[in-house]
A and B are shown apart, each in its own frame.
Chain A
Amino acid sequence: MKNPLKIAPSGDRDLVITRVFDAPRRLVYDAHTKPELVRQWLLGPPGWTMPVCEMDVRVGGKYRWVWKSERDGTTMGMGGVYREVNAPERIVSTEKFDEAWYPGESLNTLVLVEQGGRTTLTQTMRYESREAREAVVKSGMEKGVAASYDRLEDVLAATAPTTPR
């Protein structure tokens, strides 16, 4: 069974995501810092790939990620700078999308805690303002993402067990 994902607003301008992984911290850290691994999972909605995934994981190093919709060729890019790198437990980085639909950058803090071979991931995204946080939460869907999810819902509905009448 998949582990539950928790996401909640915190304070004035943070969004916090928490999730447990059934793997040692070292591997979860690798999956967040090695481009050949990152591009296998950090994809967003179905039908998108990650043709650009460049990461110079050290303090002051830059990263650049670009996603592409295989359906219509739309691209979406973002990047930032690593502010803190403390393997295998903590990374602080800035984040800014090319087509920023929210003002300024966000500051992302990834914290990994291992216990009994499992790893708890906490990702805190601090936006420049409450308005920015709201714009982010709103955006996820409004750019074709909604359509992808609707398709996914169709698939799920079609595979759901039918109730005998």
Chain B
Amino acid sequence: MQATHRLDAVFAALADPTRRAIIARLASGQASVTELAEPFAMSQPAISKHLKVLERAGLISRGREAQRRPRRLEAKRLEEADKWLERYRRLWEANYQRLDALLDDLKAKERKVP
């Protein structure tokens, strides 16, 4: 898969709150489909569907244990997507820190001139 298409799949996968929760759960260790379905009011097939999306995006993979086939996080792929967002985030952080300073000035001026 081309790099841009891959990232597109990652973003699509991360856009869903259930899938983000699954990622968060897997960040603390691998888990079976049953274990992953537990905290959600969702059927196992519904969870499996989400897992498939995450798998296609390369965000998770399956372990070899015959019965459980635990899912685990592919941290590298997640980092890739995060790096892109991180640059964007920094740009806005710089802007908003300047805005913080400006707002402080405006507040101070208002106090002087009631």
Q: B-contacting residues of A (Cβ < 8 Å)? A: 2-3, 5, 7-12, 15, 17, 19, 21-23, 27-28, 30-31, 37, 40-46, 130-131, 133-134, 136-138, 140-141, 145-146, 149
Contacts and interface: CB of A to CB of B under 8 A. Distances in A.
Contacts, number: 94
B40 interface: no
Contacts of B95: 41-44
Contact of B107 (A8, A27, A137, A140): A27
A140 B12 contact: no
Given A7-B92, A12-B15, A134 B8 contact: yes
Given A9-B15, A130-B8, A31 B99 contact: yes
Given A2-B100, A23-B103, A130-B8, A137 B15 contact: no
A149 B90 CA distance: 9
B91 A130 contact: no
Given A17-B92, A42-B95, A131-B8, A7 B103 contact: no
A21 B100 contact: yes
Contacts of A140: 87-88, 91
B85 interface: yes
Interface residues of B, number: 30
Contacts of B84: 137-138
Nearest to A119: B103
Interface of B: 4, 7-8, 11-12, 14-15, 84-85, 87-104, 106-107, 110
A46 to B, nearest CB: 7
B15 to A, nearest CB: 5
A130 B11 contact: yes
Contact of B100 (A22, A131, A133): A22
Contact of A5 (B4, B87, B92, B110): B92
B98 A40 contact: yes
B11 A133 contact: yes
Given A2-B97, A134-B4, A21 B103 contact: yes
